Structure formats: C-alpha cells, structure tokens
Structure 1
Amino acid sequence: MNPLAELLEANERFYSAFNDRDLLALAELWDDSGPVACIHPGWRALTDRHEVLESWRAIFEGGGPDAIDCRAPEALLIGGGDSETLGMVVCYEAIGNALLVATNIFRKGEGGWRLVHHQAGPCNEPPAEAHAKPPLSPLQ
C-alpha cells in the first residue's frame, strides 16, 4: 500500500475507534514515543499523552456525540522521497448538523502511522464535498 493510502487508513481507524467508543483502539493509535497534542473544540490544548487519552474517556463517558462522520479527507506527506516520517490529514467532521474542520497529524514509525496531533474547530465556509455523505468504507 502506498504511504498516502496507509495514512488515510490510519485516519479512518481513528474515527472508527471514536465511533465504536473504543478507548483501547484510540490508545493504540496515539503515539507513545514523543510529544503529542490534542485540541478539542472549546478545550485548552492538551500536550500530555495521558491527558489526551483521559480527554477521550471523558468525552465517551460525558455524553459526547454519538458519531463523527469524517468527510473529504485529504492526506499530505511531510518530507521527501522515502523519508516521510510525518503525515497530515485535513478533513471535515460532521457531528449531527454541525460541521467542523479537523487536522490529524501522524508520525510513521515501526508500528505504522500513529497520531501525534488532533485539532478540530468550527468551519464557516466548508467545501461542497464536506456536505456530502461519503460511501461506506471497508472499515465501517
């Protein structure tokens, strides 16, 4: 599989883990070899892996949204040639009637692509493809 397809698959696993309320799967996706950051809409920046994972637990236990529909994901590699170690997915999160724009940054290591950063926030002018419900993926 090419690096962009692998990156999009890792991003899809992130949203599947959220929608399944699978904290263990989320923990496996978040990098544990270096710094991480997570900024949920309206929250302060979290820069400790334990804090990040606890934030997801709080969202799951606190009646967070039932599902996030990831739309119009665009994968970008950071680096050149075969040396890419960072990848970024910019996408839109449909949560009920709300549409957020999100950035998910991954680091590629021995275990594949692992999250190092997630941030989502309001989007006033999303592209048309962000409004369209995507077809079901193999992971759904």
Structure 2
Amino acid sequence: MTSTGFATSSDAENAFYAAFSRGDLAAMREIWLDASHTSCVHPMGDRLLGTPAILKSWETILKNTGDVIIELSNLSVHQGPRTAIHTLIENIHVQDETEKVFQFITTNVYEQTSAGWKMILHHASPMPRDISQEKDPRPVVH
C-alpha cells in the first residue's frame, strides 16, 4: 500500500466510518497503516495483527453487512505529537425485517506518518448490559 494518509486523526476516523457504513473495502484499505504493528479486535473476536489479516477480516465483514448507519457518541480524543487515541461508542443501525441497533465501546488509535495520519488500532467490545437497575449486580472482573 502506498496511499497517503489524512491531514488529521479526525479526518482518518471520519473516513473509517464512511467506508464502514458504505461497505467500501477500497476506502477501508486507504485508512489502515500498512505495518506489522497494526491491530484489530472486532466485537467478541480474536486479536488480528498486521494489515493483511485486518483487511481480510474487513473484506468478510463488509461483504456480509451491506449498508449500515453508524452514529458515534461519547467521543473523547487524546492527541499526542504522533499518536491519537479516540474512545467512543458506536451505535450501528442495521435494517432487515426490523431495525436493530448494536452498541460497541470502541478505541481507535491513529499514527502520524510522514504521509499523514493512518489507523493502527481498532478495538470494539459489545456494550455491557445496563446494570444500574439490578438489585445485586455482578462485579466487574478484568
């Protein structure tokens, strides 16, 4: 891959979610840094290392998902000189017989290269159930 990066980490993030929502694998390829240290963890999935494995997973996902509407919320950005960490909640609307909304807690990391900003990590986990109304919530274990 020899594509140029993006002017800001936010531009890279916007391009990532646009590619995801359109099911555009070619655009998705442009977002990821082609490096062995790239990593991706899809919800309930294994850790994928390296751009080839990551893009193969996105090819499968995009081929089987179709168009989706993705709303982002609770965005927090920590920007360093060469690395940016974005944490957020993905609200993914999928339409079949009925509309379903899936929520994921997500961390995206971007690296500034000589060509611009590129994604180096996407990690999404299912939103935990709402335990605020439970009488005896289970403890959180890490």
Q: TM above 0.5, one fold?
A: yes
RMSD: 2.1
Q: Which of 124, 128, 133 is equivalent to 1:120?
A: 124
Report the AA paired with residue 44 of structure 2: G
Q: Which of 22, 43, 46 is equivalent to 2:45?
A: 43
Task: Map 1:1-140 to 2 at 5 A.
Answer: 6-63=8-65, 66-78=68-80, 84-96=81-93, 97-124=101-128
- Aligned pairs, number: 117
Larger of the two Rg values belongs to structure: 2
Q: Structure 2 length as normaliser, TM-score?
A: 0.74
Runs of 4+, deviation exceeding 4 Å: none
Q: Is the 8 A contact 1:15 1:68 kept in 2?
A: yes
Structure 1's unaligned 5+ residue stretches are 79-83, 127-140
Q: Is the 8 A contact 1:87 1:106 kept in 2?
A: yes
Q: Structure 1 length as normaliser, TM-score?
A: 0.74
Q: Is the 8 A contact 1:15 1:69 kept in 2?
A: no
**Percentage of matched positions with identical amino acids:** 26
Distance 1:73 1:125, change over 3 A: farther
